[in-house]
Chain A
């Protein structure tokens, strides 16, 4: 057997699996979205039906808010942890990165422990503050899984910054705030854009967290789920999935072209 044949054979398992379980199902999903009475007009229906449009807008708004909050918190913490050495740093870093592998459902439960009817905040405030099942609870849940992802990207990027640039700025008399604004943040910008896109895309598609918390909130993954299971409106569930999939995919491709970062995963 020639070398070229061997290399070609190496692709066979991958191509067989990908064709059967990724390419064909996605094509089927796309055509399933046209199988209602509305046909391909179903994509127009998403924009003209108030409930779907509102869901879309609400999902985008929550995801944007989470992205902004995660960027601010994780950039601050990431810069601090990357630039300072002190006792306990390793523990803080571990706490901030371990939730990376927590499934969305577990994060939902943790938010319930924090802000549910039997939650910590409600116990401390003599029983009036329940926020776990509101839009704010959902925001906190999404923030929970976004912080580690953004933090890792920021810290990796910080280590690649040239410290000489900062020293030069400082020796020229720049204040610490000016150094951050004019040297560090511009240096981190590509990574921040990438991390933001990852956080946004993950929040848009997060199902597990929404499943535990958002029984009454219309966010896209929950609406897809209820259309499919409760209303048996397969075409609409498929159409919304196609829209969601395209949006998150495009964002992540842009993010990668910006900085090569790939800390994705389900929420």
Chain B
């Protein structure tokens, strides 16, 4: 690579942007592992803060993982058949339906949460249970699952495959289970990783829907930012990074793999 003036300028902007994104991340990792942040690294490295976070917030971490798994199950059950239906009936009604279920991508989570609270806030049993948060997470992640599966299904010749199977006497259910689902697998995998990653990190809806007894990981993070010392807040953020970054890498890998099918 030869560096001209223009390229040097581009490189400088790129490096500055990297520094802006990377330095605070590193600060947070270091602060979570440093015995005393104000005295700096020279005060020694420790896992004390990580252990304290575990004592204080382990419940929130497990709740988030549980919610993500439940959310994944819901989006699979609702999303795969829906994507199949949309792929089989491409047309205006399908377009409108797809547009409508994608609203949670555009409308801020805060507004959706308010809407849910307006309608279901007075149903105490539902309002205070974890399923209320689950509804919010499914609402937000479902469009990602539907679109991811739909993209793969639309790229292949579904009709020919199904006609072949039907001519051999396969029932609609057999065709769905034995042809549609296996062929859609790269889309399902990419969608699943996206759903889990987004569910674990979801804050905007969850903050409005949660109760004091049901804190998810990001809600716990907000709580620690407001009321804990910097080292604990940082150690908690570090734990979050350790969970979310591998998920994100896997998600990007799976999405690229699914896109190559098109």
Chain B residue, CB-CB nearest to A78 = B14
Q: Which of A109, A225, A234 contacts B233 (CB 8 A)?
A: A109
The reply to whether the CB of A42 lies closer than 8 angstroms to some CB of chain B is no
Q: Which of A49-94 contact B (CB under 8 A)?
A: 73-74, 76-77, 79-81, 84-86, 92
Q: Which of A1-16 contact B (CB under 8 A)?
A: 1-3, 5-11, 13-14
Specify which chain B residues have a CB less than 8 angstroms from the CB of A17 in the assembled complex.
78, 138, 142
**How far is B18's CA from A97's CA once the two chains are assembled, in angstroms?**
10
Given A22-B139, A95-B22, are A10 and B17 also a contact pair (CB < 8 Å)?
Answer: no
The reply to whether the CB of A154 lies closer than 8 angstroms to some CB of chain B is no
Interface residues in B, total, Cβ within 8 A: 88
Specify which chain B residues have a CB less than 8 angstroms from the CB of A228 in the assembled complex.
114
Please determine whether B221 and A106 come into contact, CB atoms closer than 8 angstroms.
yes
Chain B residue, CB-CB nearest to A14 = B82
Please determine whether B24 and A111 come into contact, CB atoms closer than 8 angstroms.
yes
Specify which chain A residues have a CB less than 8 angstroms from the CB of B247 in the assembled complex.
101
Please determine whether A113 and B31 come into contact, CB atoms closer than 8 angstroms.
yes
Q: Which of A201-218 contact B (CB under 8 A)?
A: 201, 204-208, 211-212
Chain B residue, CB-CB nearest to A120 = B27
Please determine whether A249 and B103 come into contact, CB atoms closer than 8 angstroms.
yes
The reply to whether the CB of A253 lies closer than 8 angstroms to some CB of chain B is yes
Please determine whether A101 and B244 come into contact, CB atoms closer than 8 angstroms.
yes
Q: Which of A25-33, A160-168, A188-196 contacts B (4 or more CB under 8 A)?
A: A25-33
The reply to whether the CB of B57 lies closer than 8 angstroms to some CB of chain A is no
**How far is B104's CA from A17's CA once the two chains are assembled, in angstroms?**
13
**How far is B88's CA from A237's CA once the two chains are assembled, in angstroms?**
41
Given A76-B10, A112-B225, A207-B109, are A95 and B18 also a contact pair (CB < 8 Å)?
Answer: yes
Q: Which of B38, B116, B166 contacts A118 (CB 8 A)?
A: B38
**How far is B9's CA from A11's CA once the two chains are assembled, in angstroms?**
52
When each residue 183-220 of chain B gets 1 if its CB lies under 8 Å from chain A and 0 otherwise, what string results? Answer: 00000000000000110011111010000000000100
6 tightest Cβ-Cβ pairs between the two chains A and B: A205-B108, A6-B172, A25-B115, A10-B81, A241-B111, A110-B24
Contacts beyond the supplied A25-B119, A106-B240, A144-B21: 7 A-B pairs with Cβ under 8 Å:
A14-B85, A25-B116, A101-B197, A105-B203, A118-B38, A221-B110, A266-B140
